[in-house]
Each structure stands twice: as C-alpha cells, then as structure tokens.
Structure 1
Amino acid sequence: MKKLLLLFFTVILFTGCYTVNKPNEDTVLKIITEELHYPHTIDYEIFCSDPAHAKKLLDLKLDTAGMVTIQKTQKINDLGSPLVSFTKAAQPYLIKPTDEEKKMDIQKVKVAEETVSQIELGNSTESNGKTSIPVTYTVTCTNVTPFSLLMKRDFSKPIVLSATLLFSDGKWKLIKQ
C-alpha cells in the first residue's frame, strides 16, 4: 500500500512539474511591454531646410497654431538655412536631435505615445511538446500632440494586433505575426 501511495504522489509530482500553466493577463502584458518596448513614442522628422516640409506645415496651419515660425522668403545669402523654427509652445514636443540630425537641419517631434490597453488570450494548443497561446492586444494612442496632423492616421482609433506566446526552455516567449 505504501508503494502504491508513493507511486501515486510521484506521478502527481511529475505531472505537476511538467504541466504548463497559462499565464495571466498581467504576465502577458509585462512580456509584451518588455519585448515590444511599450509604451513608445511615435515621432515625425521635419526637415527644417526643405521647402516642401515648410509648405506642409503652412498647409496644416501649424504656424497659426503657434507651434512653428516659417520663413516664407529667403535671400540668396540665406539659401540652405532653415526655413522652419520652433516656438516655445512646441518645446515640450521636440525630441533632442543627434549630431547628424543637427547637421542636416532635421528636428524630430513627438506625435503621440502608443500603449497597450487591452489583452485577450486565446486557447492554448500543444504540438511537438511545446505550448502556444494566441494573444490579441489593443494599442491605443495617448498624449496626442498638435504635430499629429503631420501623419495621415486617426490616433483616436485603437489598433488590434496579434502575437503568439510560446512556452520554450521553461519560459514564455513572444512571437510576433
């Protein structure tokens, strides 16, 4: 009887050790945010010496919104100098340029910030000894700036994305689709 009881506990112990528990939503959120680097900033490059960029800013009325000042005419001596400069109101949205960007008169501006707002786990499947779980997650934009007009995207609409979690080598790994 003792041998049977010992065998029973051994089977339960080994079965418990090899059973893969489905991760909870907090664990999945942590995996997604770490591996896909959320939240992250959406930015836009403005070529300050480019007449086409200056025209686009004028067309979007970012000058009248008080974000930029645009030099509408240039003298021959000023050719190649920046047409676009940024006001104090724009300062919170400016991303510090690299040395290379400074040389080329490129200024990156913050457009919005993407964050994961919702996670939905599918049913786990097992094949070849590996467990996988389909994951659907929703990305929403927050902190939308006046420079969002530069991109042809509706930042009020969330984006639904898919990925798969794969249990391998004793931990969950994210596989983007």
Structure 2
Amino acid sequence: MKKLFLLCIAIILIVGCDTNSKPDKDTVLKIIKDELNYPRTIDYEIFCSDPAHAKKLLDLKLDEKRMVTIQKTQKLKDIGSPLISFTEAAQPYLIQSTEKQRRLDIQKVKIAEETISDIKLGNSSESNGKTTIPVTYTVTYTNITPFSALMKRDLSKTITRSATLLFIDRKWKLMKP
C-alpha cells in the first residue's frame, strides 16, 4: 500500500513538472527583460570635431543650457581639434567612450532609459505540439536627459510592442521579435 501511495505521488510530481500552464505576468516580464535587455539605455553619438554636429547643438541651445561648450571659430592651428566639449553639468549623461571613439572624437551621450511599463498576455494556442502565447508590452521612456532634444521622436509617448512566448524544452522562451 505504501509503495502504491509513493508511486502515485511520484507520478503527480512528474506530471506536474511537465505542465505548460500559462505563465504569470511577473514570469513573462522577467523573460522579456532577460532576453531583450531591459531596461535599455538610449544613446546618441556626438562627433565633437564635426561642424554639422556643433551647429545642431547650437540650434538646440544646449550651449545655453550649459551642457556643452562650442568653439564658434577656429584658428588654422586648431583645425582637427574638437569643436565641442562637455561641461561639468553634462558629466552624468556621458557614456564611457571606447579607445576608437576617443581617437575619432566621438562622445556618446545618454538620451533616456527604455523600460517596460505594462504587459498583456493573449490566449495560448497550440499547433504541431507547440504552445505559444502572444504578448503585448508597453515601453516607456524614463530618466529623460537634456540631450533628448537630439532625438527626432517624442519620448513622452509610449510604444506598444509584441512578442511571442513558446513553450519548448519544458520552459517558456521568447521568440525574438
């Protein structure tokens, strides 16, 4: 009798571990964050020796906001040196440059962080023995910096994206969008 009881418990545990029940929102959020690297930092490359970039920063009045200092004129001996330098106020928004970027006078600046604010799970479907669940998630921009003026898009708007979860090898995996 004891052996029969233990056999029943073992079968229940094995069957219970092999289930592909619909995951909860927290599990889906963790899967998406891990697979798609959220939260993401949105950045922008500024070519510090490029007159066109200097003009763009002037037009956006980032020099008046005390984020950058721009040389409006250059002497012949200064040709090739950076036109744009970053002030102390800009330091929290600067991203560490690689050696190649430093050689080319390129500075990456942080624009904002892209985070997931909402997740909606669709109804699961099964075909060819595979279970899938459509997922819709909302992306918002947080920690928006003064350099966000460099981007053409409106960072105050949310973006809705979709993905699909696939149950494979006894766990849920994200099918890359």
| TM-score computed with the length of structure 1 as normaliser | 0.91
Distance 2:100 2:106 in 1: 9
Counterpart residue number, 1:25: 25
Q: CA deviation at 1:176?
A: 2.8
How many residues matched? 171
Contact 2:18 2:170 (8 Å CA) reproduced: no
Question: Unaligned regions of 5+ residues in structure 2, if any?
Answer: none
Distance 2:107 2:152 in 1: 19
Counterpart residue number, 2:137: 137
Contact 1:118 1:138 (8 Å CA) reproduced: yes
- CA distance 1:34–1:17, shift in 2 (3 Å): closer
Contact 2:20 2:171 (8 Å CA) reproduced: no
Distance 1:18 1:89 in 2: 55
Name the SS of the counterpart of 1:81 in structure 2.
Answer: coil
Distance 1:33 1:26 in 2: 10
Alignment of 1:17-166 (within 5 A): 18-166=18-166
Q: CA deviation at 1:55?
A: 0.2
Name the SS of the counterpart of 1:20 in structure 2.
Answer: coil
For each residue in 1:22-63, what CA deviation from the matched residue of structure 2 results, as whole angstroms up to 9, or x when unmatched? 000000000000000000100000000000000000000000
Contact 1:29 1:119 (8 Å CA) reproduced: yes
| TM-score computed with the length of structure 2 as normaliser | 0.91
For each residue in 1:87-126, what CA deviation from the matched residue of structure 2 results, as whole angstroms up to 9, or x when unmatched? 0100000011110000000000000000111000000000
User: After TM superposition, which residue ranges in structure 1, 4 or more long, deviate above 2 angstroms?
Assistant: 12-19
- Corresponding letter in the other structure for 2:133: I
Distance 1:67 1:157 in 2: 25
